[in-house]
Amino acid sequence: MQDLYHYIDGTRTAGTSGRFADVFNPATGEVQARVPLASAAEMARAVEVAARAQPAWGAVNPQRRARVMMRFVDLLNRDIDKLAEALSREHGKTLPDAAGDVQRGLEVVEYCIGAPQMLKGEFTDSAGPGIDMYSMRQPLGVTAGITPFNFPAMIPMWMFAPAIASGNAFILKPSERDPSVPLMLAELIEEAGLPKGILQVVNGDKEAVDAIIDHPVIQSIGFVGSTPIAEYIYGRGCSNGKRVQCFGGAKNHMIVMPDADMDQAADALIGAGYGAAGERCMAISVAVPVGDETADRLIEKLVPRIEKLKVGPYTSGKDVDYGPVVTAAAKANILRLVESGVAAGAKLVVDGRNFSLQGYEKGFFVGPHLFDHVTPDMEIYRKEIFGPVLSTVRAKSYEDALKLAMDHEYGNGTAIFTRDGDTARDFASRINIGMVGINVPIPVPLAYHTFGGWKKSAFGDLNQHGPDAFRFYTRTKTITSRWPSGIKEGSAFSIPVME
């Protein structure tokens, strides 16, 4: 069994806390590595290194920083298969899906090649007599990010690429369930020319996270994970005076109107509901057909498609639609929630409870489930299941469907399937959810737009990637300058105003 490490000051560094977490191969259920869990002292050492390295990096001109991003993109492309394999081995997702995880991170790195443009300030010539006014965007200093297990390549890159391109040092605390790819990324970006100490990976659990939140030198925290932890980090981080953005859980509804192309809607639901075993914050977990007739037609189309889904290990190649869930605990939680749905009276139309895969009996595989007649009071509707379980809530009308999605506490993503432009437009305008798809089931914005939910799915003012990322990782300074030719005699005692 392999012992993993931290990546501090450009060096693979063994943990010294004496605490470790097991890293599983979810397909076999075997422990394949141990990851060290950092103490506050180990985190403090990384912060010290970052604080020492950052001023020189912050002073490097933005174009040179962008060139590191450019080379990093090349190296990511060179190593994408290797990264995808390491990712699948710890996470369980299929190889094409793992390559997509790397690719969606890489696209944000590509966007960050435009850092010189994004970091440009503003200038007003002759704002007053002999007065020029200009603003500049400066790095924050030492920044940190805490990431979830479900996108171990993409989400770290969403955070560290704009942070570093903006001139900050960044400390990444990845998920302890799949830490290998984040460690590989840190070495890869140094191969691209990043100085040591600018990107460090410190593995850990709550102790390492609390050390980040409470360290006075760390200026900002990015978090992606479940809502209770997002709320905790946001509250404590803000009260410590840090800039914090936290992205939480989701329960994404897909509304299917009677005029929708039912084959398209069913295909979309299969990919969005069961892809990555449902372990995506943008997965569709609730189908909302409008009218009983639509619901019956939809279910009729879904069932044979679900029954054909191929569940297996990533090593089976492209023949597999989705793999295992991440841990035995995740599997147990999903199956418990399925039981609660059955007990509450929802109709289990496709029952994956007894799913077992020959040769992989100890793997964390969960068969696909489809519920019909789910109601908003049920636990399977209220809670994020994060597994291959699709719930159908039948709505009487478009207004009922809209209200249902609007009343849910989460507001990450949503979709509507319809051929009616008016309905689609009304939905996009009125829905209180951050990312909306119209005949698109997983509306994940591209790198140059921003990503973020509403309500209990996000805490903080700015979104991830796109222009918001450069705003989050810089502070604005505004300078007013006047030269002697513009200076009139005497002192002014009232607030200066332009005449």
Q: Edge-to-edge strands of the sheet including 122-128?
A: 122-128, 131-139, 474-482
SS3 call for 490: coil
CA atoms of 464 and 448, how far apart (whole Å):
10
CB closer to ligand NAD out of 250 and 469:
250
- Kindly state the tokens that stand for 141: 């200093």
List binders of ligand NAD among 253-292 (CB under 6 A): 281
Q: Is residue 94 involved in binding ligand NAD (CB under 6 A)?
A: no
Q: Check binding of 146 to ligand NAD (CB under 6 A).
A: yes
Shortest distance in whole angstroms from residue 278 CB to ligand NAD: 10
- In total, the chain counts a number of residues equal to 499
Say which of 112, 238, 246, 281 is annotated catalytic: 281
* 148 near ligand NAD, judged by CB under 6 A: yes
Per CB under 6 A, contacts with ligand NAD among 388-447 are 412
If binding is defined by CB under 6 A, does position 450 make contact with ligand NAD? no
Instruction: Single out the segment in contact with ligand NAD by CB under 6 A; choices: 142-150, 297-305, 420-428, 483-491.
Output: 142-150
Q: Give the residue with the Cβ less far from ligand NAD, 291 or 411.
A: 411
Q: Rule CB under 6 A: say whether 384 interacts with ligand NAD.
A: yes
Among residues 304, 300, 275, 276, which one has the least CA distance to residue 289? 300
Identity of the residue, 68 or 209, whose beta carbon is nearer to ligand NAD in the bound complex: 209
Helical H segments across 113-205, by residue range: 115-118, 154-165, 180-191
Least distance to ligand NAD from the beta carbon of 419, Å?
Answer: 30
Alpha-carbon distance of 163 to 144, in angstroms, equals 9
Rounded CA separation 182/170 (Å): 13
Which of 39, 94, 150, 168 is close enough to bind ligand NAD by CB under 6 A? 150
Taking CB atoms, the residue at the shortest distance from ligand NAD is 225
The CA distance from 356 to 340, in Å, is 21
- Least separation in angstroms between residue 467's CB and ligand NAD is 17
The helix (H) or strand (E) run that includes residue 127 is strand 122-128
Query: Is 149 a binder of ligand NAD (CB under 6 A)?
Result: yes
E strand or H helix at 343, and its extent? Answer: helix 328-344
Question: Shortest gap between Cβ of 404 and ligand NAD (angstroms)?
Answer: 19
Per DSSP, what are the bridge partners of residue 476? 137
Q: State which residue, 103 or 264, has the beta carbon closest to ligand NAD.
A: 103
Q: Alpha-carbon distance 428 to 179, whole Å? A: 37
Q: Does the protein bind ligand NAD through residue 175 (CB under 6 A)?
A: yes
**Segment lying near ligand NAD (by CB under 6 A), choices 35-43, 50-58, 171-179, 309-317:** 171-179
CA distance 246 to 349: 36
Look up 281 and say whether it is catalytic: yes
Work out how close the CB of 384 gets to ligand NAD at its nearest, in angstroms, rounded to a whole number.
Answer: 5
Rule CB under 6 A: say whether 206 interacts with ligand NAD. yes
CB atoms within 10 A of CB 410: 26
Whole-number Å distance between alpha carbons of 103 and 288: 31
Among 259, 401, 316, residue whose Cα is nearest residue 92: 316
Q: Is residue 111 part of the contact set for ligand NAD (CB under 6 A)?
A: no
Q: What CA–CA distance (Å, rounded) separates 310 from 277?
A: 11
Q: How far is the CB of 154 from ligand NAD (least distance, A)?
A: 9
Distance CA 279, CA 154 (A): 14
User: By rule CB under 6 A, what string of x and - marks binding of each residue 227-256 to ligand NAD?
Assistant: --x-----------------xxxx------
Q: Which helix (H) or strand (E) holds 265?
A: helix 262-274
User: What phi and psi values does residue 315 have, to the nearest 5 degrees?
Assistant: -70, -10
If one asks whether residue 168 binds ligand NAD (CB under 6 A), the answer comes out as: no
Q: Which is nearer to ligand NAD, 159 or 370 (CB)?
A: 159
Nearer CB in complex with ligand NAD: 360/386: 386
* 224 near ligand NAD, judged by CB under 6 A: yes
Do residues 309 and 270 make contact, with C-beta atoms less than 8 angstroms apart? yes
CA distance 353 to 330: 14
* # binding residues, ligand NAD (CB under 6 A): 26
Residue number, 94 or 418, with CB nearest to ligand NAD: 94
- Is the separation of the CB atoms in 26 and 327 below 8 Å? yes
Position 147 contacts ligand NAD (CB under 6 A): yes
178 binds ligand NAD (CB under 6 A): no
- What are the catalytic residues? 281
Sites of contact with ligand NAD (CB under 6 A): 146-151, 173, 175-176, 205-206, 209, 224-226, 229, 247-250, 281, 384, 386, 412, 453, 457
